[in-house]
Amino acid sequence: MRMPNLSLPPPAAAAPLEQGQALGVWRLIKPLPDGEQAHAGQWYSAHHALATDEQAAVLVLDRSDQGAGVMLRYADQAGDLGKLQHPHIAVPSDSGVTPDAHPYLIIEGTHGEPLLPRLQQLGLRERLELLVQLCEALRSAHQQGFLLAEIDPAMIWLDPQGAVRLMGLGLTRIPDPTDPFDRGLSLGASPAFVAPERRHGGPPSLASEVFGLGALARVFVCGWEDTPKGLAPLRGSAADAWPLLPEDQQIKLDAILLGAMAESPDLRTRGAEGLADALRAWLALGQQRQAEISRKAPPWWKRWLWLGAAAGVGLLVMAARMPDPASPAGGAASQQAG
């Protein structure tokens, strides 16, 4: 018996879905801009059809090799990912296919919004504190046997409390270096966030993870641009984006970015943990400098208090020099004037 020819629907970007569109038990609310031009798909907010107070984020994937890769990885690791616990990491809880054959993933909970469109509202210190939170979340993921195989800025969110939220679609089991199970990219991450050894077919590793984190740090510090191959961090110095940054802080921050993105894995910062330590040290340097400035320049209320005290002393001196009409000298002066 001859088997019929089977073929998948042709590759296509997902068409925008309407408010109220049903995806299983979920109903879409609105699309969420993520600030990127090339990534795995389109984010939506959603609520449960029967319990509208239950929220979720939905990623509708492009019909492509990357989208298929995301779904295969999720199918392979759904059970393990469900056990990963950290307040700053969210993982898919369900999946499905839209009526026009686009796969989608459901991440239950209230997660906030993608960070990139909000980044311009944050100062440098706030941005770096979010990076430290992300690195610490990955430290916990490492302890639970996972690493972030691909960094996609569209997967970095700002939660309702202002903390970082990693939408953990790029998480994968830490592979056995002698028998890596996954050498391909599945999120369609921009090449700018992919370590050189990964682009050449190497397995994901803690060193390739820190390269992607370094590229993300450069986006946070220096800004980004859209290229034909996707979003890419701007090159240059931290001083270009933050001209008022003291020179010693600018030099140290540039060194942190360069260390995380070194071409050779052996020369890179030692993992997300090392990057978190370097960023914390830089933030402490800024706090120390601010404390020194505060010690040299008293608070405004003290300055006004001193000025008021000086003015008071001046008035007392002037009053002491004025003749008293009741004194002999004052009386003589009055008689002469009379």
Report DSSP letters for 81-103, one per residue: HTT---TTEE---EEEE-TTS-E
Q: Alpha-carbon distance 205 to 90, whole Å?
A: 21
Q: Please report, for residues 208, 209, 260, 262, 269, the alpha-carbon distance to residue 265 in angstroms, rounded to integers and kept in the order given.
A: 7, 10, 9, 7, 9
Mean pLDDT, each 10-residue run in order, the chain (338 residues): 50 80 94 80 93 92 79 82 91 90 92 94 96 97 92 92 92 74 58 90 91 97 89 93 94 97 96 96 79 54 56 58 51 43
Q: Please report, for residues 139, 194, 208, 256, 274, the alpha-carbon distance to residue 278 in angstroms, rounded to integers and kept in the order given.
A: 14, 21, 18, 7, 6
Per the structure block, which two tokens stand in for 208? 């390739």
What one-character DSSP code corresponds to residue 155?
G
Report DSSP letters for 277-290, one per residue: HHHHHHHHHHHHHH
Give me the half-sphere count of Cα atoms (radius 13 Å) on the Cβ side of residue 210: 29
pLDDT at 234: 94
pLDDT at 54: 94
CB 142, CB 272: distance < 8 Å:
yes
pLDDT at 125: 96
Q: Alpha-carbon distance 19 to 46, whole Å?
A: 9
Q: What is the CA radius of gyration of the chain?
A: 30
Q: Alpha-carbon distance 276 to 25, whole Å?
A: 39
Cβ density class 98-110: b for 16+ within 10 Å, e for less: beeebbbbbbbee
Please name the residue ranges forming H helices in the chain: 65-81, 124-143, 196-199, 206-222, 238-241, 247-260, 271-296, 300-321, 328-337
Query: Three-class SS of residue 111?
Result: coil
Q: Alpha-carbon distance 176 to 199, whole Å?
A: 19
pLDDT at 31: 93
Q: Alpha-carbon distance 310 to 192, whole Å?
A: 61
Domains and their CATH numbers in the chain: 22-292 (1.10.510.10)
Cα torsion 157, 159, 164, 167 to 10°: value is -50
Q: Alpha-carbon distance 42 to 206, whole Å?
A: 28
pLDDT at 328: 47
Phi then psi dihedrals of residue 28, to 5 deg: -70, 145
Q: Alpha-carbon distance 61 to 108, whole Å?
A: 17
The torsion region of residue 219 among left (phi > 0), alpha (psi -120 to 50) and beta comes to alpha
CB 209, CB 152: distance < 8 Å:
no
